[in-house]
Amino acid sequence: MNPRFLIVEKENRVARVTLHRPEKKNALSPEVLAEIRDVFRVLDKDEAVNVVVLTGGEKAFCAGFDLNFIRSLEKDSNEAFTALFHEAYRAILFCGQPVIAAVGGPAIAGGFDLSLMCDIRYASSRAKFGQREIALSLTPLLDPLWRIVGLGRAMEVALTGRIYGADEAQAMGYVSRVFPEGELLAGVGEIAETMAGYDRACLRETKRLGRSLGNMELEGAMKVQEWLFRSYIGSEDNHQRVDGLLESLKRK
């Protein structure tokens, strides 16, 4: 991979993907979207990566779609672009590893959607969130937003186009934790490395389960979860981790 608008770094089984188009506030052009799609498809198959962090750095995330390009589109020539950005979204959403969004600045419209595709969202105190599509006569993504914040709140976010600060995003359940300005990447890095130390297959199976539960009835969901638990309990990795925990408890 030799992306132009992304920086990909790997360490301790964590891949950090940084959006890097600073002169455009990381706006999403077709080239950026194609790189996101391709990078996440490759990472999905990377056995050395257990967790992925998507960020724009400490002061940015993504200001949305490249409006100059959007303005150039016509209704009879938009199919390739709309297919492309949904391919990019799906590459993040269905990446086998857990994907963490580390949002250091505005995540607006298409940038909001990128954070929406991630499994967990952490934010800097300077971050801002908003689905601004409605203000541009575009339909926003309600799913999976409603699964995260509930349908009523998702409707408010989608229909008002309002910009939310980091604390308000956390209060509605969209953001899991807000870090002080300048401490986001270090804090998220620690969380990601801890997660990356867990069993790779179990991480991927847990993510897959989370993505499918919303489509199951409770009885079916309980059966699937019972079967998955039985698939892992008593395994060699399970035994090793229990032994390690028991040994650490003895030392206390």
Torsions phi, psi of 52, nearest 5? Answer: -120, 135
In angstroms, the CA 49 to CA 210 distance is 20
Nearest to 102 by CA among 123, 126, 88: 123
Look at residue 196 in the predicted model and tell me its pLDDT.
98
pLDDT of 171: 98
> Hey, what's the torsion of the CAs at 192, 183, 118, 130, to 10 degrees?
170
What is the predicted pLDDT for the residue at 105?
A: 97
Q: Output phi, psi for 43, to 5 deg.
A: -60, -35
Q: Which one, of 52, 127, 155, 139, lies nearest residue 94 by Cα?
A: 52
Report the C-alpha gap between 117 and 223 in whole angstroms: 27
The full DSSP string for 17-78 is: EEE--GGGTT-B-HHHHHHHHHHHHHHHT-TT-SEEEEE--SS--B--B-HHHHHH--GGG-
pLDDT averaged per 10 residues in sequence order, the chain, 252 residues: 92 98 92 96 97 97 85 74 90 97 97 97 98 91 94 97 98 98 98 97 94 86 87 88 89 82
Minimal CA–CA distance to 39: which of 78, 82, 79, 97?
97
Helices in the chain by DSSP H: which ranges?
30-44, 67-72, 79-93, 110-116, 145-149, 151-160, 166-171, 184-196, 200-212, 218-232, 236-250
Q: Pull the structure tokens for residue 26.
A: 């990381």
pLDDT, residue 237, reads 87
Instruction: Work out the burial of residue 124: count CB atoms within 10 Å of its CB; fewer than 13 is exposed, 13-18 middle, 19 or more buried.
Output: buried
Q: How far from 25 is each of 49, 52, 53, 126, CA to CA, in Å?
A: 28, 21, 19, 15
CATH fold, domain 6-196, is 2-enoyl-CoA Hydratase; Chain A, domain 1 (3.90.226)
Q: Which residues are catalytic?
A: 133
